[in-house]
Structure 1
Amino acid sequence: MCDLTRRALLTTGAAAVVGGTTLGGTALGGTAAAAAPGRARTVAARRLFFGRANVAADGRVRPDRVLLSWFGVTSFAMAIGGRVVLLDAWVPRGTYARRVPVTTGDLVALRPSHVLLGHGHFDHAADAAPVAAATGAVVVGTPEHCSQVTAQAAAAGLGPVRTRPLAVPDVGDEAELRLGRRVRVTALRHVHSAVEAPAGDVPPFLPPPDPTPVLTDPPSLEDGLHTLLHQGDQEGGSLLYRFELGGFSLTWNDTAGPLRDDPSRVLDRLARRPRSDVHVGAVQGFGQYTNGLRDPLDYAEAVRSRVFVPSHHDNWLPPITAPASAYEQALREGLAAIPEARRPALRFVRDTRDYLDARRLTFRP
């Protein structure tokens, strides 16, 4: 789907959010992200995301576990090899501003070394600029992602941003980097979710909307305006990342596009890689309106992980979105159809129960 269509859909939802707000709400982040925090604040933030038992008194995170802490859409705080990074960077606004118990200031307090972006749309990257400017974290993504974050930081008067643009101009291109000495990262350019003509093998998937959050947690005007003001944020290309630490590997993608007829053969490239231990993949997308969950299941079958963790399936923008629970049965049925040799076990996470619960997503490298 083209960006214009995507923005039209989201702007309609955001306008409805703004129309139902009352004055006096507080935007997340704001001045909280303006200055780097002290050590005590960092210790508190890391314990909030990763659990007290996993964070020492000086803020170091235990290096013998890979810890993931979900804070909405496809954004995760990850501790890997003792290093803290962000996978995407956006705290949901609007109706979920009080349902996701974290602020942009908390992301700053984590003091991540890197912010890795899957793509540049606002619901994935709109908090990257304040976090990177306040902490010195390196923003990793395509040159377009890095330019957009740099421009946003400059426009907001936040100061300079460090970036690591990856040379992946075309779908199927790959680039490598390291997070310290122990973690090897491979980024693969793929495609954003999109509506295609029905293939006929999978029925459309249209989960019933749940507008309850709009009624129970009316959003603030500031949150609605934040969403509207970021409608111009561009995709800038989509990246899938594979992290390797010793013999452990984790794959993460924040969108899942139609790849069956892709001439660059991204699915074949994924299938030729060694099997991942964990795959954290987006499942909500525009492809579901015509071809159900075919596209995210294609990614899952190609990656062949031992554990599949779905994301981008929370109800942060009703009625366009739906709760995670609406996807569970369809995902279980779809995974059951994958040949056993390539079938992962499903580790399902639900909004809002599993936000900031690293116990659910703790892995031994």
Structure 2
Amino acid sequence: MEIRLDWLGCATFRLTLGETVVFLDAYMDRVPTAPKIGLSAKDVRRADFVLVGHAHFDHIAGAELIARNTGARIIGSHESCRVMREQDVAANQLLPSQGGERHRLAADVTVRVFPSLHSCTWTTGSLSAMEASTGDLGLCEDERAGVAARQGLGSTIGRRAETGDSAANDLRAHLATAVGSGQTGGPLAYLIETPQGSIFWQDTSGCWTGVLRELRPDVAILAAAGRGNLDGEPIQGSLADFIRIEAELLQPRTIVLGHHDNWMPPVTPEGGTDVSPIRTALAGSLPAAKLLEPGYMDGTLLLG
């Protein structure tokens, strides 16, 4: 079996596992000022499954079109499945999961579902992968809401955009129509197991360390955005530190990053996040691991 990976922007990927096509998230139809991917959800004609990491628009939007047009089944949280039902996706195409499930994707391919965590969006973190963020430890939810209010964080990331320019106006218009939920629904992480090896994927910068250290995948696809969430607390360090810790727990042979492009201007940096600090951190911590840096729609050979 030959296993190929296409990065489709943000945290969305397409895995081709022999004859089986699996989308990891589905968000390709982005704000018009974002770089073009080369594929739209409405144009996808071949898909067997869509795995949804969580229910925010920048991950789930597009899954409804792929499911309706191809008959693909969607694996995601109960909130993700609720959003899909509202979009007229048939109930028999939905596989609600919360962690602990194993689903068969093909005769010799399965996926295990694990509970995960979202990045700490209630407190600001640097858009630089190298700059450390500290503090905000041990807070209850009402205190975290107070932090968000003081820092001017709205209910959606889009409110961070400045008002008055065309890019911000485009973003607000996009957010008004994008399919998704204001709730994560409980982020999930996935381990896809094949005869050629295993692939771990998560679409946001959060993790339970006790889960990750037991998995040992051959390939790890890791989100590189926001302030990392380690066991429910914001990382006391940088994004590069967070990715390094995840990689040390997982010990993969190959690492791929996601969620680091300029997926939502004007909030995200032009040119995307500079991943050179992550590259340096990984080279120092796991020198034997290979960091793949594919462009959009590259069809990168992962395994096989």
Deviation at 1:247, TM superposition (A): 4.2
Residue type at the aligned position of 1:118 = G
Percent of aligned positions that are identical: 29
TM value normalised by structure 1: 0.64
Corresponding position of 2:301: 362
- 2 CA distance for matches of 1:337 and 1:114? 36
- 1 CA distance for matches of 2:256 and 2:267? 22
Deviation at 1:227, TM superposition (A): 2.1
Cα distance change of structure 1 residues 92 and 292 upon mapping to structure 2, 3 Å threshold: farther
CA contact (8 A) 2:223 2:260 kept: yes
SS of equivalent to 1:185:
strand
CA contact (8 A) 2:2 2:18 kept: yes
- 1 CA distance for matches of 2:271 and 2:191? 24
Cα distance change of structure 1 residues 197 and 134 upon mapping to structure 2, 3 Å threshold: closer
Q: Deviations over 1:150-182 (max 9, x none)?
A: 11x13xxx776710111x2xxxx4221111211
SS of equivalent to 2:274:
helix
Corresponding position of 2:211: 269
- Which 4+ stretches in 1 moved above 6 angstroms? 158-161, 218-223
Which of 245, 251, 263 aligns to 1:316? It is: 263
- 2 CA distance for matches of 1:227 and 1:289? 28
SS of equivalent to 1:295:
helix
- 2 CA distance for matches of 1:197 and 1:285? 8
Matches within 5 A, 1:1-365: 64-96=1-33, 99-107=36-44, 109=45, 111-151=46-86, 153-154=87-88, 162-166=93-97, 168=98, 173-194=99-120, 203-204=131-132, 225-230=173-178, 232-257=181-206, 259=207, 266-273=208-215, 275-287=216-228, 291-293=237-239, 294-323=241-270, 326-338=273-285, 344-349=289-294, 354-358=295-299, 361-365=300-304
Q: Deviations over 1:256-293 (max 9, x none)?
A: 22x5xxxxxx32332122x3221111011234997311
Cα distance change of structure 1 residues 268 and 344 upon mapping to structure 2, 3 Å threshold: farther
- 2 CA distance for matches of 1:334 and 1:323? 23
Corresponding position of 1:27: none
Where in structure 2 are there 5+ consecutive unaligned residues?
134-165, 229-233
- 2 CA distance for matches of 1:82 and 1:324? 34
TM value normalised by structure 2: 0.76
Higher percent of residues as helix: 1
- 2 CA distance for matches of 1:285 and 1:222? 22
Residue type at the aligned position of 2:213 = A
CA contact (8 A) 2:32 2:170 kept: no
Bigger shift: residues 66-75 or 318-327: 318-327
Cα distance change of structure 1 residues 161 and 286 upon mapping to structure 2, 3 Å threshold: farther
Corresponding position of 1:35: none
Deviation at 1:220, TM superposition (A): 11
CA contact (8 A) 1:93 1:223 kept: no
SS of equivalent to 1:94:
coil
Deviation at 1:234, TM superposition (A): 2.6
Deviation at 1:323, TM superposition (A): 5.0
CA contact (8 A) 2:28 2:39 kept: yes
When Rg is computed on C-alpha atoms for both structures, the one with the higher figure is 1
Deviation at 1:224, TM superposition (A): 5.2
Deviation at 1:364, TM superposition (A): 2.9
- 1 CA distance for matches of 2:168 and 2:90? 27
Q: Deviations over 1:215-261 (max 9, x none)?
A: xxx7798875332234744311111111111141111110122x5xx
